[in-house]
Amino acid sequence: MGHRMAVPLLIRVAIGAALAIIQPTATPQAQAAGTLIWGMPSETDTMDPHATGGWTTYQITYQIFEGLAKEDLTKGDVPTPPLVPGLAASWEISPDGLQYTFKLRPGVTFHDGTPFDAAAVKFNFERFWDKSSPNYYPKAASFVVAYAKWIKGMEVLDPMTVRVILTAPNYEWLRQGLQSYGQPLMVSPAAVKAYGNEGIALHPIGTGPFRFVERQQGVRTVLERNPDYWGRKAQLDRVIFRPLQDPATRVNALSNGEVQMISTPPWDEIQGLVDDGFKLSTNPNVPYINYLYLNMKQDVFKDVRVRRAVNMAIDREGIAREIYRKTGRPEFGLLSPGTDAYDPGFRSYKYDPDAAKKLFAEAGYPNGFKVVFEIPQVGTGELVESWIQRDLKKVGIDVELRKFEWVTYMGRWAGGMGQDIGMNEIGWGMSTPAWINIVARCDTMAPDGQNSGYYCNKEVDALLSQALTTRDPAAAKALYQKANRIIMDDAAYVPIVDDLQPIMLSPKVHGFVNPPEDWFDLSTVSVD
């Protein structure tokens, strides 16, 4: 009864199997007609539009859900996405700017066949705004707060008409509902009743040009064309969103034909891909400024001359030219591109290291000082951060980089800089000029807002509040620009570069539009 030895057998089997697999099958994957596979830098979180905040998530939910108003993302050559009727065919704003009466679009159904009407709108508003309603969902309320905090009341006039009363006039209110951090898009009430507030994230039912098919967490999220869509129907049969965290893998997947589109390609690989025949798509007005906060509570930064000197010491043009190349533009203000208030010609501080050194000396720091610069793991990236560190070193400022893992960094950034921290950074912006309120008002100082550097200038707050209540966009623009000038004169922030949102596309992709927004309308796209 000697032992039957399986080892030699095992070896033969394993080698045999391995060889059988490697025989060459040269053709790249067969391409289903009209399917776009998009390689994204990270997995998206829950697909409940009311309860999510990530840009990458809106890149999917924008295809499934729609709001009463909508941004037209099919135009790339406009300074800001035009505001167009969505599920509301039309709306009127009362002269005092307090009442918005929406005429709903008739004949629209949700993907689950249930009708879209005033009752559905009421259900959605109760979900993210009305604490007294059984449909109230606290998580949604906390995400949609920027939009919902202006609502005083809401009433259904008839099955196809709804009126919303604001607490105060805010002519950016509609636009604020189409930004990140909680979008009040219309979710099918029947689906919420069927799957519950948490379950809706797994069964997203909206009215958009694409319908949800399935999601494999970390693998793919599949949408298909909605044949009954009320507007221009999508051309693609299906869209597949694939998280590919590693930049090298994203590039290789594109080259190997496993994806037809990737976002955030590594800057240094773009030229190589273009040479290989892939198309680079960018937009000059994407609302995305990479900027630094200076900690106004730190003594060194209380002196405006020091803040100005820091602004002068950093070579924005050099960073845009050498690192971002054709996918970045130097930025000198804090008004977000992609809005009608943005002025591309705005200038604040020229790159002048010698003048900066003089200013530091004048302010009492002839041989510079030490400053701690907190950065996130997935921020602008080491290339930019070390460039800034070198530029400041040249003028005597010794920068210590402290990198934090993303979630930890978010907590520290949202919570406001500690006393020992001099600077931190973020890449942000919105297609509404009102964004500047969130980051630069006295009353939005962290931890109650994203003014992480505790900048406070009463005059700026007054101008911004007035701008919100100015109906005429041109007049509002003048106010925002005046505020922007004051902020940059105070030099409380150090804007660096606008990211032009580079997207690499396979030559097989047609009709893709890169709009002045952080997500895209895929219904115009087709793949041969």
Partner 1 sequence: MVPPDTAHAGVGEGERSDGVGAPAIPPASGRRWRIAAFARDRAAFAAALFLVLVAGAALLAPLLSPYDPAAADNLLRYAPPGTAGHLLGTDAQGRDMLSRLLWGGRVSLVVGIVPVMVASATGLALGLLAGTAGGWTDQVIMRLLDVVFAFPMVLLAIAIAGVLRPGVWTEVISITVVLIPYVGRLARTATLLVASMPFIEAARAAGATRTALLLRYVTPGVLPPLLVYATTLVGLMIVVGSGLSFLGLGVQPPASDWGAMVSEGRIVLRRAPHATVLPGIVIVAVSLAFSFLGDGLRDALDPRSRRR
Partner 2 sequence: MRGFLLRRLAALVPVLIGVSVVIFLLMHLAPGDVTTTLLGPQATEADRVALRRTLGLDQPVPAQYARWVARIAEGDLGTSVATSRPVAALIVPRFLNTALLAAASLALAMAIGYGAGLLAALRPRSVLDRVLTGVTLLFGSTPPFWLGLVLVLFFALRLRWLPVSGMTDMAGEGGVLDVARHLVLPTVTTALGPAAIITRLVRSSVLEAIGRPHVRVARAKGLGRGALLRRHVILNALPPIMTITGLQLGYLLGGALFSEVVFAWPGLGSLLYDSITARDTPVVQATTLLIALLFVLVNVLVDLVNAALDPRLKES
The residues of the shown chain that bind partner 1, judged by CB under 8 A, are: 247-248, 251, 266, 268-269, 272, 318, 322, 377, 382-383, 385-387, 389-390, 401-405, 408
Rounded least distance, CB 419 to partner 1, Å = 18
CA–CA dist 224, 235 (Å, integer): 10
CA–CA dist 300, 294 (Å, integer): 10
Nearer to partner 2, 138 or 159 (CB): 138
Compute and round to an integer the Cα radius of gyration of the chain. Answer: 26
Rounded least distance, CB 408 to partner 2, Å = 4
Quick check: 239 and 63 in contact, CB under 8 A?
yes
Rounded least distance, CB 252 to partner 1, Å = 9
Which of the choices partner 1, partner 2, none does residue 474 contact, using the CB cut-off of 5 to 8 A by kind?
A: none
Nearer to partner 2, 390 or 402 (CB): 402
β-pairing, 35-40 vs 238-243, is: parallel
CA–CA dist 303, 4 (Å, integer): 84
Nearer to partner 2, 291 or 365 (CB): 291
Which of the choices partner 2, partner 1, none does residue 3 contact, using the CB cut-off of 5 to 8 A by kind?
A: partner 2
Which of the choices partner 2, partner 1, none does residue 258 contact, using the CB cut-off of 5 to 8 A by kind?
A: partner 2
Q: Which two tokens stand for residue 313?
A: 């010491």
Rounded least distance, CB 450 to partner 2, Å = 6
Which of the choices partner 2, partner 1, none does residue 450 contact, using the CB cut-off of 5 to 8 A by kind?
A: partner 2
Rounded least distance, CB 402 to partner 1, Å = 7
Nearer to partner 2, 221 or 226 (CB): 221
DSSP 49: G
Quick check: 156 and 119 in contact, CB under 8 A?
yes
Which of the choices partner 1, partner 2, none does residue 247 contact, using the CB cut-off of 5 to 8 A by kind?
A: partner 1
Rounded least distance, CB 377 to partner 1, Å = 5
* DSSP state string for 182-208: -------HHHHHHHHHHHTTTS---SS
Which of the choices partner 2, partner 1, none does residue 9 contact, using the CB cut-off of 5 to 8 A by kind?
A: none
Nearer to partner 1, 269 or 331 (CB): 269
Which of the choices partner 1, partner 2, none does residue 28 contact, using the CB cut-off of 5 to 8 A by kind?
A: partner 2
Rounded least distance, CB 250 to partner 1, Å = 10
Rounded least distance, CB 84 to partner 2, Å = 26
Closest CA to 517 of 43, 70, 206: 70
Rounded least distance, CB 4 to partner 2, Å = 9
Nearer to partner 1, 398 or 448 (CB): 398
Quick check: 438 and 449 in contact, CB under 8 A?
yes
List CB contacts of 452: < 8 A, sequence separation 6 or more.
293, 413, 414, 416, 417, 424, 426, 439, 446
Burial (0-12, 13-18, 19+ Cβ within 10 Å), 220: middle
Handedness of CA 271, 286, 324, 253 (dihedral sign): negative
Rounded least distance, CB 274 to partner 1, Å = 12
Nearer to partner 1, 272 or 364 (CB): 272
Q: Which two tokens stand for residue 326?
A: 């054709």
CA–CA dist 50, 180 (Å, integer): 10
Which of the choices partner 2, partner 1, none does residue 119 contact, using the CB cut-off of 5 to 8 A by kind?
A: none
CA–CA dist 413, 416 (Å, integer): 5
Nearer to partner 1, 121 or 388 (CB): 388
- Side chain identity at 220, as an amino acid letter? R
Which helix H or strand E contains 456, and what residues bound it? none
Nearer to partner 1, 197 or 389 (CB): 389
Which of the choices partner 1, partner 2, none does residue 387 contact, using the CB cut-off of 5 to 8 A by kind?
A: partner 1
Closest CA to 36 of 173, 157, 210, 247: 210
Nearer to partner 1, 136 or 404 (CB): 404
Which of the choices partner 1, partner 2, none does residue 46 contact, using the CB cut-off of 5 to 8 A by kind?
A: partner 2
Closest CA to 101 of 174, 150, 172: 174
Q: Which two tokens stand for residue 143?
A: 């995400």
